[in-house]
């Protein structure tokens, strides 16, 4: 049985193994050199309540992980986060990625994020489909922004905005459609 929950520092070796597998074998990350536990600990410590890291565990083994990371250090982006999602190769195709992303989307809403963004390398149609099925919209393509395995690669941008938060904010600020007067 798969358990999904908040990651702890004890989960970091499993998270790092999965990430390093993705670095060496896939286009899911544009990192090209495996990470050390020390590097990953620094990454882990930059996450907190608003930017959680979660894990999927089966029989006390980490089989997948996901995170909401700060989109930018600039203050104006405080309510935006970027999705990371990785499942160990031999556990892919079992719905673990979906469960992780569903949990992460809900966590983003709970912690008050306004939007979450995913960058997905070309050719990863499974990830595009997964994100789309959970309400992400395709918002653009960055052409030839990465080079990995000897190829220049496009990156698809997908975004989920928590609409009910937008509507409530607009109503509080008097920006609802009913209050807009057009000058003619």
- As for how many domains the chain has, the answer is 1
Contact partners, residue 97, CB within 8 Å, separation at least 6: 64, 85, 87, 127, 130
Give the number of C-alpha atoms closer than 13 A to the C-alpha of residue 98, restricted to the C-beta side.
9
| Percentage of the chain exceeding pLDDT 90 | 87
Of the pLDDT bands very low, low, confident and very high (cuts 50, 70, 90), residue 9 is very high
> Is 15 among the domain residues?
yes
The residue segments making up the domain with residue 158 are 2-169
> Is 47 among the domain residues?
yes
Which CATH number covers residue 31? 3.40.630.30
> Is 175 among the domain residues?
no
Tens digits of residue pLDDT in 110-160: 999 999 999 999 999 999 999 999 999 999 999 999 999 999 999 999 999
> Is 174 among the domain residues?
no
Mean pLDDT to the nearest integer, 7-14: 98
DSSP string, 14-68: HHHHHHHHHHHH-SS----SPPPHHHHHHHHHT--TTS-EEEEEETTEEEEEEEE
pLDDT tops 70 at residue 37:
yes
């Amino acid at each position: 049985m798969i358990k999904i929950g908040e990651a702890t520092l004890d989960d970091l070796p499993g998270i790092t193994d999965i990430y390093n597998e993705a670095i060496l074998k896939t286009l899911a990350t544009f990192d090209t050199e495996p990470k050390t536990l020390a590097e990953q600990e620094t990454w882990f410590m930059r996450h907190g309540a608003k930017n959680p890291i979660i894990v999927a565990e089966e029989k006390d083994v980490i089989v997948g992980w996901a995170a909401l990371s700060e989109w930018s250090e600039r203050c104006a982006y405080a309510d935006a986060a970027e999705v990371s999602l990785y499942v160990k190769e031999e556990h892919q195709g079992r719905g673990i990625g979906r469960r992780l992303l569903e949990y992460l989307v809900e966590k983003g809403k709970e912690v008050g994020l306004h939007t979450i963004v995913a960058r997905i390398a070309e050719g990863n149609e499974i990830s595009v489909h997964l994100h789309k099925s959970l309400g992400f919209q395709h918002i653009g393509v960055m052409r030839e922004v990465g080079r990995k395995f000897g190829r220049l690669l496009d990156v698809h941008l997908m975004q989920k905005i928590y609409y009910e938060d937008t509507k409530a904010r607009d109503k509080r600020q008097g920006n609802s459609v009913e209050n807009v007067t057009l000058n003619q």
